[in-house]
Amino acid sequence: MTARHHRITLFVEAYLETHNSAKAAIAAGYSRRSAKRIGYNLLRHPAVTSALRGRQVEVAHAARLRAEDVLTQLAAIVHADIRRVFHRDGRVKMPHELDAQTAAAISLFHFDIVDGVVVGARIHFWNKVTAIEKAMKHLGLFDRDHAQGRDVAAELLAHVAQHNQALAIRA
């Protein structure tokens, strides 16, 4: 392994831990003074991006983390329905009685117990709005939705300038 390849490997490992290119550059042996610039440049280097992608795949595989599993968990939050937490008679279901999708959508399940008797329960779901935003980003819908807030006037002026056309204004 060459010294350069060794530094790239050190940078990739440090970057995966910190997600900070300057800190990763320092960990790879570059000077503190130039770490920010070098880290920025390394993240754009094809060998580094390829090594990062490869390590991310390895780490995900080792953790048995698949995109399908992540999206399934996200979908559970998006489709969460509070009614699934209760029996038909209004009693709260115990955690082992919940279906997998509902259980995945719950971030906190707390029972209030007095003298060994359950007198109340608090159930918190993961943030549904955040889950919907993440799902929209994954599906490519988030960018289209945010395009509604674009600067139409600036786009019109850019179009006119690009096509070298006069802008006719009517009273």
Which residue's entry shows tokens 């910190």? 18
pLDDT in tens, 30-86: 999 999 999 999 999 999 999 999 998 888 888 887 888 888 999 999 999 999 999
Q: Provide the number of structural domains found in the chain.
A: 2
- What residues contact 58, with CB distance under 8 A and at least 6 apart? none
Give the mean pLDDT of the chain: 85
Q: Could you read off the pLDDT of 21-46 as tens digits, one per residue?
A: 999 999 999 999 999 999 999 999 99
The Cβ of residue 52 has, within 10 Å, a number of other Cβ atoms equal to 18
> Residue 33 maps to which CATH number?
1.10.10.1400
Supply the range of the domain harboring residue 152.
66-171
Q: Residue 167: pLDDT band by 50, 70, 90 thresholds?
A: low
Q: Are residues 57 and 80 in the same domain?
A: no
Phi, psi of 118 (to 5 degrees): -70, 120
